[in-house]
Structure 1
Amino acid sequence: MNKLNKIKYAGLTCVLISLAGCKMPSVVQRTENKTTPEVFLNATNDTLNNAKTKWKNYFTDANLNALIDNALQNNQELNITMQELVIAQSEVRARKGEYLPFVNVGAGAGVDKLGRYTNMGASEANTDIMPGKETPDPLQDYKIGAFATWEADIWGKLHNAKRAAVSRYFASVDGRNFVQTNLIAEISNSYYELLALDNQLEIVKQNIEIQTNALVIMKLQKESARVTELAVRRFEAQVLKTRGMQYGIKQKITETENKINYLIGRFPQPIVRDHKMFESLIPAKVNAGIPSQLLENRPDIKKAEMELAAANLDIKVAKARFYPSVGISAGIGFQAFNAKYLVNTPQSLLYSLAGDLVAPLINRNAIKASYISANARQIQAVYNYERTIVNAYVEVANQLAKIKNMQQSFELKAQEVEALNQSVGISTDLFKSARADYMEVLLTQRDALESKFELIDTKKSQMNAFVDIYRALGGGWN
């Protein structure tokens, strides 16, 4: 190559590089600056945190723990997320392989017959392979060798793509942990709901007996002309209504059992539990820690953080596409027109080494669009990260307030139930002595039944808050 051609090629290379480095699309980037409050509302500045407690120690009911253990092994949604981890891990391996050299080994054989009166045929006829012999016709071709290609990652495009894939893998891990946390909470809430329904059914059966006895008294009072047929019918209707309630509760029990079975990944079957221990359940004291610990404990926050990191790396990858790429290719092997000469060296030895520089020059709209989209996704990731942090703080604050309010509500509701239970006996005695009418007895029994139901619902809300605060703090996955 003469000096003039060298100057031309050097000039062309400079032009390509200068064009590749021209101004890129103007975009707005946003970086995360969301900080959490120092403490939760109405909470102490204490770093003790129940999120670090293992779920087997947080829940002390052996039957509940057995259900959770089965669910963690057989739940379909959790198993689906496990396969997502495999997919994300394979993506990391693929991105890692892109910045390593690609080496291929190949072998081939062929035969080529040229026309004698073509320019190539005529020239080969006058070229001696051996003294006094023409080129073999047809001409065979055998070759074997190794060939490699490699893109020099001088702008970090391939390495950043691999790092983004790693971040998304860790996001998948945290996504799986988030599914596990929610699964434990959902099974626990359903289990306590099942215990509450069992107790409501027990109360209904007890009230059916009480109301049936009251109905007998009403019939005796009617025979002695102390009450009318209206009183008997009203009490009879109340007994029928209460008897009908038990079937609605039984249906809810069936549905709740089947929900738990579905979460465990099995067909419907009875759920083993001891409903008698429900009344004695007392939620343990919960330590919420400080809000900044949510960043470490909540899987959904960690997932959003990893997705944000991946989005930031995607911008660097998109930006690097504007710059020239440098490729290197090399090969070494043997080639001969006859198989017996294939490994004769150095006559049959071949090798090659080449480099190329390629840069986008005209019509870079696709690269610009990819760069703008990467920036938009990064801003989305920031907003999602901020939203996840705020949502986590709100969830914890709500459950802390719920624990406090439900405790006070339960204490008052228990006093109400005790008062109404005494009222039932008092109203019945007053009715027998003709000092109260049948409506007072009827209304007192109805109020007592409703208050018992409300007491059980309040206890269930207490246990739900106990479960939900554990989930909100990020417990259950570690």
Structure 2
Amino acid sequence: MNKHKYIYIAFVFIGLTFTGCKTPNLMQRTESKEVPLSFNDLKDTLNSVQLKWKDYFTDKYLDTLITTALQNNQELNITLQEIEISRNEVRARKGEYLPFLGVRSGAGVEKVGRYTSQGANDANTEIKPGVEFPEPLQDYMIGAYATWELDIWNKLHNAKKSAVSRYLASVEGKNFLVTNLVSEVAHSYYELLALDSQLEIVKQNIEIQNNALKVVKLQKESARVTELAVKRFEAQVFNTKSMQFSIQQQIVEAENRINFLIGRFPQHVARSSQTFNDIIPMLINAGIPSQLLDNRPDVKQAEMELVAAKLDIKVAKARFYPSLGVSAGIGLQAFNSKYLFKTPESLLYSLTGDLIAPLINRNAIKATYYTANAKQIQAVYNYEKTILNAYIEVANQLSKIDNMAKTYDFKSKQVDALNMSVDISNDLFRSARADYMEVLLTQRDALESKFDLIETKMQQMSAVVNIYHALGGGWK
């Protein structure tokens, strides 16, 4: 009868165990890596991102600034510590599926009441004939112990793999930050050169306008113009001079933005004396869209996070299954220190195996499982969004490079034409064949056109920097 009873209990336990192994169904979504075959119908496999940033940005002053930023930028250094945190998380997860070994020692003393069950029993106990149970009772122990959870469902190994994927994602996150940092320094540097050019243009125009003002004053003395013309020319000079100080303030802010990026306090930023409009944008080869999957750090980061999210589902699923743990210990224990190393009397050891399975009230495990699945689907959408964003960024910047080049050509012709018109208007004004308002308007239009030309060049250089960033360059 007892034999059948034990068989029945075993079948009940096995049935409950399989019940505990049952996992709920989840919504699935599979990511797609399909991207268009080309950018704007350009099928060129050459890719400018294969150039290191030192070869892409050839200005020696800009190279120095970028090098300093990669060493001193605080945000980048913070990210490096986040990578170290992720690396330590991998070590922690790896340690969980290895046996835990430790040593233990202790000493104590105990006195129980005589009129208790233990005290009454101890009073009638003799260790040896004629030797009573010691009171108070001392206790000395030294030994070693081990615990080990057998990873039969790969729960702990998958947790470690997930930590590895997140570590790799943090590395890619650092690479993406490097890409952003390189492009941000380059943007600020070119903006600074553009402001220098604008300041130089303003100074030249102040000189031109002062000369025109002298002419107007002479003409007023000869009664060829009225005081109104003089005041209008003076107002234009004052307006242009005010622009000079506004640009100087923008230069200070641009310099300090660079100083912040490279991790130093405000100071002068050394830069090229080359005229900004003379800079020739680099010829860009965008390659093919599939190269973004390997070149863009943010795409690779999203991919690693997706891998980690999938592994988290496996870890959460394994919590529904029984876990098998083994614990063991061996040591020496005695009530008197002189007996502690007397074997085999003081020797003790233990070996235990545990099989634990969740049966009732598994809501917490289900919630963790559903959460892991939701995060995995979220990671898929994030991966798809990152790829889509990368493609659109490249397509936009390629179009911008082409359109800004055409715009710059027409703006250059406009500036040339207005420069000639300034000379013509001054000559006509001196010979009384043009009104002073024509001279003022022509000078204003010429100044605005020069500013527009610099802004167009800035947009060109911005596109050159942005396309390098969009293709995933700068971090290698």
The reply to whether TM is greater than 0.5 is yes
Alignment correspondent of 2:431: 433
Structure 1 distance, partners of 2:106, 2:11, is 40
| Aligned residue in 1 for 2:14 | 14
For residue 71 of structure 1, what is the amino acid of its counterpart?
A
Q: What is aligned with 1:362?
A: 360
Post-superposition CA distance 1:88-115 (Å, at most 9, x none) = 1111111111111111211011122233
Shift in Å at residue 8 of structure 1? 5.0
Higher mean C-alpha deviation, range 301-310 or range 135-144: 135-144
* SS of equivalent residue, structure 2 residue 225: coil
1:132 aligns with 2:123: no
Letter in 2 for 1:35: E
Cα distance in 1 for partners of 2:58, 2:321 equals 60
User: Counterparts of 1:274 and 1:350 in 2: how far apart (Å)?
Assistant: 81
CA RMSD in angstroms, aligned pairs only = 1.4
Distance 1:204 1:340, change over 3 A: same
What is residue 315 of structure 1 aligned with on the other side? 313
Q: Which residue of 1 aligns with 2:174?
A: 176
**1:424 positional shift:** 0.9
Q: Determine the C-alpha separation between the residues in 2 that align with 1:289 and 1:344.
A: 79
Superposition map of 1:394-409 within 5 A: 394-409=392-407
* Unaligned 5+ runs, structure 1: none
> Paired residues, what number?
475
Structure 1 residue 470, shift from structure 2 partner: 0.5
Q: Measure how far apart 1:50 and its partner are.
A: 1.7
Q: Distance in 2 between matches of 1:122 and 1:432?
A: 130
Q: Give yes or no for contact 2:220–2:227 (8 Å, CA) kept in 1.
A: yes
- Cα shift at 1:307: 0.5
Alignment correspondent of 1:50: 48
Assess, with a 3 A threshold, how the Cα gap between structure 1 residues 101 and 84 changes in structure 2: closer, same or farther: same
Residue aligned with 1:269, SS: coil
Tell which deviates more after alignment, 370-379 or 120-129.
120-129
Secondary structure (helix, strand or coil) at the match of 1:259 reads helix
Residue 382 of structure 1 is matched in structure 2 by 380
Could you list the per-position Cα deviations for residues 19-45 of structure 1 after superposition, in whole angstroms to 9, with x for gaps in the alignment? 2123x33321111014111111142x2
**Cα distance in 2, alignment partners of residues 159 and 9 from structure 1:** 33
3-state SS of paired residue (1:323): coil
Note if contact 2:197-2:275 (Cα within 8 Å) is conserved in structure 1: no
CA distance in 2, matches of 1:5, 1:140: 44
Q: State the secondary structure of the residue aligned to 1:434.
A: coil
Task: Report 1:321-332 matches (<5 A).
Answer: 321-332=319-330
TM-score by length of structure 1 reads 0.96
Q: Distance in 2 between matches of 1:283 and 1:9?
A: 81
Distance, in Å, in 1 between the alignment partners of 2:206 and 2:117 is: 111
Distance 1:297 1:76, change over 3 A: same
Cα deviation, residue 9, structure 1: 4.5
Residue number in structure 2 paired with 1:462: 460
Partner of 1:246: 244
Kindly state the Cα deviation for residue 5 of structure 1 after the two structures are TM-superposed.
Answer: 5.9
CA distance in 2, matches of 1:122, 1:115: 8
Equivalent residue, structure 2, for 1:26: 25
The superposition leaves residues 48-91 of structure 1 with CA deviations (integer Å, 9 ceiling, x where unpaired) of: 21222111111111111111111111111111111110111111
Q: Percent identity over the alignment? A: 68
> Which is further off, 430-439 or 143-152?
430-439
Gaps of 5+ in 2: none
C-alpha contact 1:199 1:275 (8 A) present in aligned 2? no
Q: What is the TM-score of this pair, normalised by structure 2? A: 0.97
CA distance in 2, matches of 1:332, 1:26: 45
1:451 Cα shift?
Answer: 0.8
CA contact (8 A) 1:424 1:448 kept: yes
- Specify the alignment match of 1:3 in structure 2: 3
Give the whole-Å Cα distance in 2 for the aligned partners of 1:403 and 1:242: 32
Structure 2: distance between partners of 1:280 and 1:31: 50
Q: How far apart are residue 134 of structure 1 and its match?
A: 2.3
For residues 72-471 of structure 1, the aligned pairs below 5 Å read 72-471=70-469
- Cα deviation, 1:422-476, whole Å, max 9, x if unaligned, reads 1111111112122222122111111111111111111111111111111000001
Matched residues in 1 for 2:141 and 2:48: separation? 69
The residue type equivalent to 2:30 in the other structure is T
- SS at structure 2 position matched to 1:279: helix
For 1:159 and 1:73, locate their aligned partners in 2 and report how far apart those are by CA, in whole Å.
Answer: 36
**1:199 and 1:276 in contact (8 A); partners too:** no
- C-alpha offsets along residues 340-376 of structure 1, whole Å, 9 cap, x if unaligned? 1212222211111010111111111111111111111
Query: What SS does the aligned partner of 2:132 have?
Result: coil
Is contact 2:90–2:167 with CA below 8 Å preserved after alignment?
Answer: yes
Task: Check whether the contact 2:415–2:449 (CA below 8 A) recurs between aligned residues.
Answer: yes
- Give the Cα separation in 1 of the matches to 2:218 and 2:419: 24
Question: Are the aligned partners of 1:335 and 1:348 in contact in 2 as well (CA < 8 Å)?
Answer: yes
Find the residue that maps to 2:131 and give its secondary structure: coil
